[in-house]
Structures are given as C-alpha cells and as structure tokens.
Structure 1
Amino acid sequence: MSAAGGTALTLDALKRFLPMHLRLRDDGTVLSVGPTLAKLAPDLQAGLPGRLVNARPGRSTCPLAAIQEAVDGQGRLILRILNTRDIILRGHGVRDGAGAMLLNLGFGISLHRAIRAAELTDDDFVPSDLAMELMFLREANRGVLHVLSRFNDQLAEARQEAVLQAQTDALTGLRNRRGLDLELAQALRLNGHRQEDAAVPVALIHLDLDHFKQVNDLLGHLAGDELLYRVAAVLKQQVRKADTAARVGGDEFVLLMRGMTSRSALQDLSKRIIRAIRLLTPPELTECQVSASLGIVIWMPGETDSASDLLDRADKALYQAKAAGRSQAVIL
C-alpha cells in the first residue's frame, strides 16, 4: 500500500507508526486495524456495523457514510465504539495509493477513559504522539496523588497520636484528667440530649490510695511511681473495654463505668480492687499496708448533666469511705 503521496508503507510499519489507524474500502471491507484500536474494538476487523457509529449530532449514525464524507471532504471524523459508550474517537482520513480509505484516529478528552477501559500503556502509543505526553502527565498526577494520600494518612495518624498523648497519663498509660473530662462530658451529653442516643446510666468511682505517702517518704519516689504503675495495671484488668480508667493526680484514680447500676456488682468490684491493691504493698513497708478507699456515685439519665457535680458527689463518697476507716467503698 502507499500513502496519498505515493510513499509505500508496509502493514507492519503502518501498525507501528499509526497504532490507531483504520484502513477500509468504500464497500466497508476492513483491510487493517491498528493494534491499539483493536484493543478497544477487538472484532472491528470483521466490519463496521454493530461496532462503530457516527457520533456527530444530527447526522446519520452510519459509520461508513461518515467516513466517506470525512475522507473525501477532508473534514473531521467523530466516531463512537458501541461497546464503550463514553469513548469518542476523533480523527481525519485520506485515500492511499490503492484508493482505500486510511483513517488516523485519536481519543481527545476521552483518553483517560480509553486507558482505563482497555488497560492501555505507553507501548500502545507512538512515542511522538501527544497521548504519550498526556499519559506521562496522568502517571505523574497519580504518583503525586498517591504521595499526598500517604502524607494525609500519616498526618491524620500523627494528629490522632498527639491527641491521644495529650489525654494520656505518661506514668500509668491511663487517661489523664483532660481525657477523663472529655469521656465524662461525652457520656453525660449523649444521654438524653439526642433522641437517637439511648440513655445509658453511668457509675463513677473515685479511688484514692491509703498510706501511699508512707511509700514515697520511706522508700522514695521511684518506689511510689512503681506502685502507681502497678495499681494502674490492676484497674485496667478490672474495667471493661467500654469503661474508662484515669489517673487524675497523685494517687487518685477515677473509673467511669458505662451502664453499671448494680450496687452489689459495684461493691464486688470494689472488694476485688482493694484486695488486689493490698497485694501490691512493698515488703519493705512494715508499719502499714497499702490499700484503697473508693467513693461511688450512680448517675441515671435525666439527672444533672454537670460533670463537676458528679465528680463532687463521688469525692464526698470517697471522703465518707476515708472517714469510716479506709480500705472500703461507699456508694451514694
């Protein structure tokens, strides 16, 4: 075959330099299909009907008539592949030396859809083709988006870690006072203030260690810190996953127990905690035994939603437990 100017082109050269070409006779017989075009329309070699249509609005959908008009009138050709509705082919055509119609097609703005639909790569385009430049830009864009996505994920993780650290007691790993305030405020706010949230009672336990000062005074602050760490481990073992354990200062701890209303269950829990903390008494401490006093209040939906009021009530219960001889729990 030869181009319009008479230069001969082999079929292999045609496929190599025009991977989106279509060569056909005036009767519609397809003589050659470029390899890239064949990926989008694998059976195009069998003929145009049912595979290509004229995509120009207001014109006949007959692809052969549209091709002949574009080739002989040197106009622009717009076709659509039937099994890929969103992919539009645009191009021009000429008659080669044998009188056949030779089309060179492209994707225009539907390039990204064609790449996705047929899984095209840079091997499917001529290196000098503008599509190659667009593909490089597309790959670069994907790379940048991937990096940005990873960066955003890392930033979100770092922010979450920073927030968690700001709400965590460094010595024990429990929530600190700020973390407790947030958890308690949320527990009270979500009860009775929004119709979609079911009201859930809350038990608040204020715990203070007995004879902790003697540990610090006689054995040193390192021994005191070790005792606090081990007390925190006891509390972690005793609370449920939905509960909150916090160290609010010195040797004071607070437990927030969601849905807990049983006084007997709270007394049993208190006894287990007191018993476990007694076992933590350092052997060097011979004059007294470390223990714990607990003040407990039960909050029911509809009562005050003031966290400070609830903490004050728990503190009063703790004071009563201390006044009654320590190493016990008082429930208000």
Structure 2
Amino acid sequence: MSKKKRRAHSGSDHLATFLIALVFVVPISAMVAAALFVPRTDELVMPAEKPSYMRIHKADFLDSRPVNLQLHWVDGTDLLAPAWSGTVTEVAVGPGQAVSTGSRVLRVDGVWRIAAHTDWPFFGPVSKDSAPGDVAAVNGLLASLGYSYSQGGWNSASLKGVRQLAVDLGVAGASQIGAFDPSWVIWIPADSVTVAAPLVSPGSIAPAAGQPVLSTPPRLSLVEVATSAPEGLPEDHEGWILSLKGLAVPFDGARIDAVDTLASFEGALGATGVEEVEARVERKEAVVGWQVPTSAVVVDADGNTCLARRSNGTEPDVVRVEVLSGSVGTARVDGQLSATDDVLVNPASVGTALQCS
C-alpha cells in the first residue's frame, strides 16, 4: 500500500476514534462526574417545622365506646310437679308470662296450685311435728303471701295462715286442715321465672311427681364484651356503665357472669337466644378536662406525660398533665393549665425533646 493511502486510512481511524469518544465517553464521564456531586438522600437534612401553637379550652366529656356483646346461653329448666293425682282442670299461664311466688299456675281437681320460691322444694306435709327448717320455710312463704304466720316455730298463727291459704286455693274442708300440703305449690328456682310453654293441658292426667309442668326459656350464662374502638375497654371499671336497649348496668370488665346482671340482660333482650348484639360502654358521669391534640402530649422516658404551653405570648414552659380520656386525634387532660394557654401542637416535629419530670 502506498504511503498516501496509509495516511488516508490513518486519518479515518483517528476521526472514528474521536467520534466514539465524543458520543459515548464524554457523556458517560459527565454523568459520573455529576453523580459524584449529587448528595445522597440519606445525607439530606430536612429543615425542622416551625412551632405550631393552639388555644385550648375546657369541656365536659361523656365518653362512649361502641362494644360488641357475645351472649352465651344454656337451655332452660323445666318446672316439675310435686306428688299429684287427679285431672288438670285449668291452666292459667302461657308462653312469655312471668311466674313468681303466689302466681296461680294450674288447677288439679279444682284446687289451685301456685308457684313458690323457697330455699328448697317441700317434700312432705309440714306441721307442728316437722323439722324447724321446714316450719321456718312455711312461715316465710305464708308471710310473703300476706297470710298469718309465726316468727318462731309452729303455732296457732302458722296454722291460721295455712288454713287461709287452703281456702284461697279451693281446698275442701280447709277449716279443718292441720298441716301444709306440699302438693299445693310448684317450686321455682328464682324469685321470678318466665314461661316458655305449659307442658300440660286441661283434661289431661296430672303429671306424677318429678314430671315437667312448665318449660322455661334459655338462660344467659355469660356475656363477653369486646370493642374495636382505638382506646379499647376501660381498664378502670369504676364510673363506667354498659348500656343496652335502655338498660344500664355497671361495667365490670370483659366477662360478665353475675346472676343479677345476666337476669337484667335477659329482661332487656327477651329469651331470644341471640348470640351477638351491639351496645355501648359509657362514663356514668361526664369528665371535665382540657381538650388538646394528641400530638401535643409527650410521654418521657419515665412514663410521665406533659406538654409545652405558653400563655399570652410568654416563653413556653413544660407542664405535667394527666390524661383523663381521649379519642382519635384528641386527648382530654388535667393539669395546671388555663384558658389563656396555647399548647405546642408539634413538639416531635420541631425537635423539642420535652422532659416531664
């Protein structure tokens, strides 16, 4: 190849190399150089927010939290017959009726049989020769029914009361009776029970001793309380009530099994057997406190709560507070505050580390 051609090729090679460097190398180098001067994101220092203050005010708060009640039921019990013989001539109770001591339930051979709540069922005639406990039970029954009775053992007042009862029940020869007859009463396990259904009908043979006469509806055995409210259930139960369908009972915690309270729930709900119902847990009395944003309240390392406040434009200072209650975004606090105070709303964002103690 001639020298002239070699020089031509050499010039072309240099030009190509220059163009490659111009197109690829220079931009890449510029990108690398630019990257070296761009600060890393984790090295950026964000400017602190400006302190923000808000005027506080005092108000009454009646806290109320929605709750869900899980209801646990057990089967009702049957009311059983004493030792009867004869024919059922009338039934006086029906579904949904309440039966208490003295309630007329049915007639057997024309004689009324009434409900009676005593410490235990009567199992035999009671007279002057009976055990003191049985005599006391009969006197107590007579007193509750408004008849003559004795405050001691069996005496003429007891006998008079038994005969008065026998007359009202329609017992033949009542004036000559000398003892209380247990077949006059149907024992009930509580002061009052609700009838689900009578299990006998007029014209039927009276049930034998221990056979069912009336059925009762399901009974509540346990109520469990739960809530999805952010503040949860009150840890201190004092001063809180559970409200349901016009019923208000003391709130005793997440499990309710007190017999009286369960009976109150049954009265409000009816014997429906429903397994879940909505209710509310509420303060019995309103709480008076200062309303502040929750962001203003700081908890220090020792668990103390406080906030920063300024009054009439003065320099802010730290005030210890007690959190009484709260809801989403709002806390109700008590402390040495006044109606002219403005509280620091954003202590965490302005880099202010408050020490409450």
Into which bin does the TM-score normalised by the smaller protein fall?
A: under 0.3
Q: Which has the larger radius of gyration?
A: 2
What TM-score do the two structures reach when normalised by structure 1?
A: 0.26
What TM-score do the two structures reach when normalised by structure 2?
A: 0.25
Where relative contact order (Cα < 8 A, 6+ residues apart) is larger, the structure is 2
Q: Identify, as 1 or 2, the structure richer in helix.
A: 1
